[in-house]
Structure 1
């Protein structure tokens, strides 16, 4: 290493605070047992109040010098109440999971996992293990700069990591600016506390993470040991593991804590980094009404006399770019001018900026969320620039207090109604009179056959059904922002009634 003098002095202070170079380099595997909680900033009733998504306990064996880990994870997750219990092993670009890791289908699995899932996990462990970061900085090829108690580690394909030291040289915080769709550039701040001596080195027993100023992660380590690298501990990675595309690998490394929000929630499919709808074109729901069907999220398209209205811009720009092509092809010759977002949850409006990039778009949302949507449209995106960052385009955000109605090309109306929901304070449902259908997201997912009484989403299904009755809407079909079993995107109102407990 041929660092400038100030960098060498700052790095030396950090290494010494953790036990000295000989002890740090001798440390092979960090074993920790921890309990904690995770909150999701893109869920809950209010964008300023992240929702508790999991209480967890974990046992981690982390290779401090190589890309290997073994994680035993148990959690109570709350969006769909489920107990997760799995062992995940990563080794380089390969990985394997055994147990229950998916809240929507709590059946045990025993399967290989994609390489980008392993990459995201390892990046998260980089950010939460000072010993692992120091080992990276001591590598001969490391790119490190620093002075005045701050070190910056740069690695190819990853946002720079800044480590802040206290007066004694201990690492008190790690900061990195990541891409968090739809917020854009988000400062992730990892704080370390309660350092204790373990096998000749010092490790933190408390880790807290904030993202965009919101406290999203708290972890208390109840046990920590430093051991040797036992290959058997990392055994069990079998079979072929899907290699990441360039885009997937980049996303795993530049949006790590965004991905981890969903991982801790027990939402496995975000690791798929979806990039396209599952059907080649939008499917017809009724004359003048079509649905873009995605692997997990759907977009409804309604033909107006002179333009097109879309409902939902889901996930993130990579997926929404492909979905938007189907929106534009749904009714040729008519431009997209209006977008209704049912609520502020990131997974249903994360592609907002992609939809806005063509310009002249009016975004209709529940009134409480107007400032949040305006913030999203104005936010800087430098870590992973999108189309709107490259060529800013005008977009107008308008709030809906009760109802907004447009005439449709089919001769009826399409209306967005504010309803009361425990899911989000800005919740909208969309009714198309000519099709006698209601589109909703997250309140109830259509099922292919009559459900069990009271099944699926509990009070949310009841609130949706009660709202339809209170509004006096003539409804025959419920369309989902999510599909139910398989690719079931629509179901009779009577199925919702049963789910609602009536």
Structure 2
């Protein structure tokens, strides 16, 4: 018996040693594969890079209906300027809608284009409007991912982080993790070219999010190989199909983090809209706090944990002894739903439209393993309250709150607005965003604005003021002026 035990122990020990040796060999082999690719593509000679092109894509997180493909756009111009040494990137594009439905900060179909500039350096992300910089912390993970999953960036990142390799379909597949940001598997062909990157990145709505990026038709640019075609899917649907028309290796790139961005913290301003009703602004997305008999009802928990936690903290300070117990979500687009996990982490019930409730139930149960969020840390599960369509009422002796679905919207299906009948206040998201004070009337009537007016009239709402979830609080007369009334 003892002899058999000894033999078994020796066999197990030998197996373990073999396994450890195999793992070590795998790591050495991964580095050899990466170094061969580095030489073949010229990555080691590349400090900066500019590439540009035209194509098509989809607006991530802005589907008209949950689980539908992202709304399609055409890219008239798209460029990236990358500084690998300083982990910095500038992305600039001009795009226009090619379908009428869905969200995103673009004009309606046929009414113009969207021009945007987004940047990242290190752990700061920001947007530019002219020369004005605004911090964009919700974009940080995505931009870091896009920087380090470029064909040369992914080789540099894998060499820095170490990984393992296996062979599949005649390709070398190297898997590595950029801690706290993404996990990736790089498909490298026999010629050393990066053909594909399968990655997983965190998302404040759907948790771990799969991304597949394909590179093809490599061309030589002074010893630097770069693909002429880039195709990327995110969350199961296409976001980019780019035909590359310009590649400039080691181009001059100067990206410095603005002082205002480096010093950014979430700020929540409070403006009283009526007795027991507060307009919470101070960022790109607003919320509204409503005092009920024994708690606070919050309309909208947007963007990501950081913004949502700041809004919840401010709302909880408004009335001594009353805390936020429920959040009403306007719709499923990711910028408006990105703070729901943070609310759920505090035990707050999530009131969502009945048509989107099943989708929310599924995605809020997804883990965020790459960068665990507040919900993961809390150990709680999201509690959902479907708002019965087309009208859902919440009330007590303090006040009545009505949730109406906006009919015939181009923006989203299952799209809610909140009506306070006593105060004559209407709270809504993207169907109407007021322009600057005293701005001239738009040359073309925005069909979303016109649809909102039709809904107000259909429901016979006697609106005094609009509390938009973007922009400033305005009298309803500004909406009417925008549609030519």
Which bin holds the TM-score, normalised by the shorter protein?
Answer: 0.7 to 0.9
Of 287-296 and 9-18, more deviation after overlay is shown by: 9-18
Q: Does residue 147 of the first structure (1) align with residue 134 of the second (2)?
A: no
Q: 1: CA distance between counterparts of 2:224 and 2:133?
A: 34
Q: Does residue 493 of the first structure (1) align with residue 472 of the second (2)?
A: no
**1:347–1:33: structure 2 CA closer, same or farther, 3 Å change rule?**
closer
Q: Does residue 192 of the first structure (1) align with residue 180 of the second (2)?
A: no
Let me know the Cα RMSD of the aligned residues: 3.6
Of 454-463 and 313-322, more deviation after overlay is shown by: 454-463
SS of alignment partner, residue 61 of structure 2: coil
**Contact 1:17–1:202 under 8 Å retained in 2:** no
SS of alignment partner, residue 378 of structure 1: coil
Shift of 1:430: 1.0
| Equivalent position of 1:254 in the other structure | none
Q: 1: CA distance between counterparts of 2:33 and 2:257?
A: 44
| Equivalent position of 1:326 in the other structure | 314
Find the partner of 2:154 among 133, 141, 152: 133
| Equivalent position of 1:180 in the other structure | 203
SS of alignment partner, residue 41 of structure 1: coil
**Contact 1:113–1:241 under 8 Å retained in 2:** no
Of 444-453 and 341-350, more deviation after overlay is shown by: 444-453
| Equivalent position of 2:100 in the other structure | none
Find the partner of 1:406 among 358, 376, 394: 394
SS of alignment partner, residue 172 of structure 1: strand
SS of alignment partner, residue 331 of structure 2: coil
**1:389–1:57: structure 2 CA closer, same or farther, 3 Å change rule?**
same
| Equivalent position of 1:25 in the other structure | 44
Q: 2: CA distance between counterparts of 1:335 and 1:62?
A: 46
| Equivalent position of 2:266 in the other structure | 275
Find the partner of 2:77 among 46, 49, 57: 57
**Contact 1:189–1:209 under 8 Å retained in 2:** yes
Shift of 1:190: 1.5
Find the partner of 2:414 among 403, 426, 446: 426
| Equivalent position of 2:372 in the other structure | 385
**1:50–1:59: structure 2 CA closer, same or farther, 3 Å change rule?**
closer
| Equivalent position of 1:309 in the other structure | 297
| Equivalent position of 1:374 in the other structure | 361
SS of alignment partner, residue 470 of structure 2: coil
**1:157–1:367: structure 2 CA closer, same or farther, 3 Å change rule?**
closer
**Contact 1:151–1:162 under 8 Å retained in 2:** yes
Shift of 1:482: 1.3
Q: 1:415-452, CA deviations, whole angstroms, 9 ceiling, x for partnerless residues?
A: 11112211111111111111111111112234575654
| Equivalent position of 2:4 in the other structure | none
**Contact 2:96–2:114 under 8 Å retained in 1:** yes
Q: 2: CA distance between counterparts of 1:94 and 1:323?
A: 21
Shift of 1:392: 1.0
**1:171–1:395: structure 2 CA closer, same or farther, 3 Å change rule?**
same
TM-score normalised over the length of structure 1: 0.76
The aligned length equals 443
Q: Does residue 296 of the first structure (1) align with residue 327 of the second (2)?
A: no
User: Mapping of 1:250-289 within 5 angstroms?
Assistant: 275-277=266-268, 279=269, 282-289=270-277
TM-score normalised over the length of structure 2: 0.78
Shift of 1:289: 1.8
Q: 2: CA distance between counterparts of 1:382 and 1:472?
A: 47
Q: 1: CA distance between counterparts of 2:113 and 2:78?
A: 16
**Contact 2:403–2:417 under 8 Å retained in 1:** yes
Find the partner of 2:94 among 56, 60, 75: 75
**1:481–1:26: structure 2 CA closer, same or farther, 3 Å change rule?**
closer
**Contact 1:365–1:399 under 8 Å retained in 2:** yes
Q: 1: CA distance between counterparts of 2:205 and 2:61?
A: 9
Shift of 1:473: 1.4
**Contact 2:276–2:290 under 8 Å retained in 1:** yes
SS of alignment partner, residue 392 of structure 1: coil
Find the partner of 1:6 among 19, 22, 26: 26
Shift of 1:17: 5.8
Q: Does residue 470 of the first structure (1) align with residue 458 of the second (2)?
A: yes
**Contact 2:126–2:136 under 8 Å retained in 1:** no
Q: 1: CA distance between counterparts of 2:37 and 2:50?
A: 20
Q: 1: CA distance between counterparts of 2:88 and 2:288?
A: 42
Q: 2: CA distance between counterparts of 1:297 and 1:351?
A: 11
Find the partner of 2:429 among 430, 441, 444: 441
**Contact 1:450–1:495 under 8 Å retained in 2:** no
| Equivalent position of 1:338 in the other structure | 326
Shift of 1:43: 1.5
Q: 1: CA distance between counterparts of 2:115 and 2:180?
A: 32
Shift of 1:383: 2.1
